[in-house]
């Protein structure tokens, strides 16, 4: 716009020089006033246009600034959406882990209850079997010369006498308990017997406790003759 105004001013100067050569100084003076008025108008117009251009440049800068802000906001929103998606995924994963943990805890509780029931049942069975053995004490003492004692940890000690004809009061002993599986288990025997494991396995299979006691007494008797 400024280049067009400068070109327009040059044309006016050329017009003025031509007019002055044709119409003389008087007409030229009048034309000078007209030209000056025109120049003032043009100057005002130029300033107005220049101001308008500056305002438009400012507006363009503002638009660019707003566009940059919009881009930044969009980027921020996009990043937040990605973070939100990731957070939702983490929450979902944690919820699955919590559910799995709760299921495992419930399973452990149920398993523990079953084990408690089994242990209670075994303890009751063990107690009953120990009581039954104690009730048979008189019978064993009478027929086999056997003494039965209850010692620590719910174990029973069996003491045979009248085995060694040289020393009838010499004790031959073994200690018995009922283990966690509910089986008879010999924990000690004196003097040592090589066949104790065989007798132990047999009573577990047959549950014939009287035969078990008789076999051990017989083994002690045979040992006394060696």
| Domain count along the chain | 2
Torsion sign (Cα): 36, 42, 44, 46: negative
Q: Tell which wins on pLDDT, 16 or 58.
A: 58
Residues 163, 224: contact at Cβ < 8 Å?
yes
Per-residue pLDDT, 14: 80
b (16+ CB within 10 A) / e for 72-90: eeeeeeeeeeeeeeeeeee
Q: What is the pLDDT of residues 33-68, one digit of tens each?
A: 666 776 777 777 778 777 877 888 888 888 888 888
0.85 surpassed by pTM: no
For position 162, which CATH number holds? 3.30.457.50
Q: Do 220 and 156 belong to one domain?
A: yes
Q: Do 104 and 159 belong to one domain?
A: no
Distance CA 161, CA 146 (A): 7
By residue range, what is the domain housing residue 163?
A: 145-225
Q: Do 160 and 221 belong to one domain?
A: yes
Edge-to-edge strand list for the sheet holding 155-160:
146-151, 155-160, 172-178, 184-190
């Amino acid at each position: 716009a400024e280049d067009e105004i400068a070109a327009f001013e040059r044309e006016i100067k050329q017009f003025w020089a031509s007019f002055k050569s044709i119409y003389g100084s008087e007409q030229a003076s009048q034309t000078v006033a007209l030209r000056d008025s025109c120049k003032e108008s043009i100057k005002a117009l130029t300033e107005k246009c220049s101001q308008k251009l500056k305002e438009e440049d400012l507006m363009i800068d503002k638009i660019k600034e707003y566009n940059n802000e919009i881009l930044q906001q969009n980027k921020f929103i996009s990043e937040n959406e990605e973070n939100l998606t990731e957070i939702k995924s983490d929450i979902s994963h944690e919820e699955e882990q919590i559910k799995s943990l709760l299921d495992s805890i419930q399973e452990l509780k149920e398993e523990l209850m079953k084990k408690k029931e089994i242990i209670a049942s075994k303890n009751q069975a063990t107690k009953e079997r120990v009581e039954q053995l104690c009730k048979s004490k008189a019978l064993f003492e009478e027929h086999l010369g056997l003494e039965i004692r209850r010692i620590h940890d719910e174990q029973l000690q069996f003491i045979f006498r009248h085995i060694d004809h040289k020393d009838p009061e010499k004790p031959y002993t073994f200690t018995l308990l009922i283990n966690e599986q509910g089986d008879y288990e010999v924990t000690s025997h004196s003097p040592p017997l090589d066949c104790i494991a065989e007798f132990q396995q047999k009573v577990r299979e047959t549950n014939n406790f009287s035969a078990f006691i008789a076999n051990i007494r017989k083994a002690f008797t045979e040992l006394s003759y060696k």
